[in-house]
Structure formats: structure tokens, C-alpha cells
Structure 1
Amino acid sequence: MEFAIIKKPIKENFNETGTEEEFAVVSEHFLYLKELLKKNILIIAGPELNAKFGFSVIETKSEDEARKIMENDPVVKKGIMSAKLYPFRVSLLRGRD
């Protein structure tokens, strides 16, 4: 099963208003995503260039597993970003289709 996750910074203009500690958590978030990629869970991830939201697609066995992955992301766990989970289907993928 595939799921899209949309994460949004809690703070307005996060790139300008984020603290050093919050940016350290964003670095943890990046490492978390790299680990999911290594485990073949993460399909794609990236931020909107003005830091209004981040988007990722993961593949898991269940919605519960996907929700746990989303909730354990450091930026979500530490209240830097809100997150929403959506059932998703990757219909076309460069290099695969």
C-alpha cells in the first residue's frame, strides 16, 4: 500500500523564523527519510521550495504502519510540522513504467 504524507511547518515563514534548534530537528528529519529510503519504504520526498510544505510517498503493509512512520518523523514528533496521511497510488514512475 502506498501513502502520501504532506507536512507543513507550524510557524509561518519557517525558513526565516525557524530557530537553530528547529533546523537541527529538520536535519534529523532528513536522516530519518534517508533511513526509510535505505529500507525501501520511501519512494519520493522533497520540500516545496518556499518551505510551505513537504511531500513524501511511502510504501507500507498497512495504514497503521504508515501512520506510525509519519508520527515518528522527528519534525512531527517534536511539533515543528503538522502532518496528514493520504492513501495514494503511484500510477506512473520514471524508470519503472
Structure 2
Amino acid sequence: MSGVTEFVYVIRPVRPGFLEEVLPEEMEAMGSHFQYLQDLLEKGQLLLAGPCLDRTFGLCVFKAGSEEEAREIMENDPAIKLGVMNGELHPYRASLFAGQK
């Protein structure tokens, strides 16, 4: 997978009913998750992140030097690290985007 510098990870709630009733400790983990993503954005690693409006999953598109580094970034997301969300990592390449020439 040489040359891959973009990755996407998908997050999904671990607990059924999470979206209907968020427990206080889950809310705290999700606040830390948001701060973690803001930090990645400030470092220039995060390209795009957000939840699907049908509330089935969220995604994070980001840059990393290797799959190992990408996995470490995903696994250090507090929502995943604290067991509130499951994460699924995929190599990614943005082929078309606004402003592209």
C-alpha cells in the first residue's frame, strides 16, 4: 500500500440504543472524541469528519504516513479507546473534490 497517505475510519456505536439515550460517560467520551478530531484538524491531519444524518455511523478522513500510523490515530480516538464506538479503518483516495483542476 505504498503511496497511500489518506485513510478513512468509520465509527459505529457499540451499545444498541446509544443514539436514543446517551449515558453521561458516553457523552463525556464523545466530547473528548470531538476535541481529539479538532486537534487533528489543527495539526493538518484531519481532512473531513462528521456523522451521517441518518445516525448510523460517522466517518473521519485523514492523512497519515503509513497504515500503522493511521491505525494508531484511529485507536487513540477517545470514543474508540473508551469502548463507546467501534472503528473500521480503510485506505482512501480522494479522486474528485471541489476546487480541483
TM over 0.5: yes
Looking at structure 2, the residues matched to 62 and 89 of structure 1 have their Cα atoms a distance apart, in angstroms, of 14
Which of 74, 81, 96 is the equivalent residue of 1:92?
Answer: 96
Which of 1, 11, 14 is the equivalent residue of 1:10?
Answer: 14
- Structure 1 unaligned blocks of 5 or more: none
Looking at structure 1, the residues matched to 100 and 83 of structure 2 have their Cα atoms a distance apart, in angstroms, of 36
Matched, 1:53 2:60: no
Looking at structure 2, the residues matched to 59 and 96 of structure 1 have their Cα atoms a distance apart, in angstroms, of 18
Which of 80, 83, 89 is the equivalent residue of 2:87?
Answer: 83
1:13–1:51 CA contact under 8 A, matched in 2: no
Q: Which residue of 2 aligns with 1:34?
A: 38
Q: Which residue of 2 aligns with 1:25?
A: 29
1:3–1:86 CA contact under 8 A, matched in 2: yes
Shift of 1:96: 4.0
1:11–1:18 CA contact under 8 A, matched in 2: no
> Which stretch shifts more, 12-21 or 63-72?
12-21
Size of the alignment, in residue pairs?
97
- Structure 2 unaligned blocks of 5 or more: none
Q: Which amino acid aligns with 2:34?
A: F
Percentage of matched positions with identical amino acids:
43
| Structure of greater Rg | 2
1:42–1:58 CA contact under 8 A, matched in 2: yes
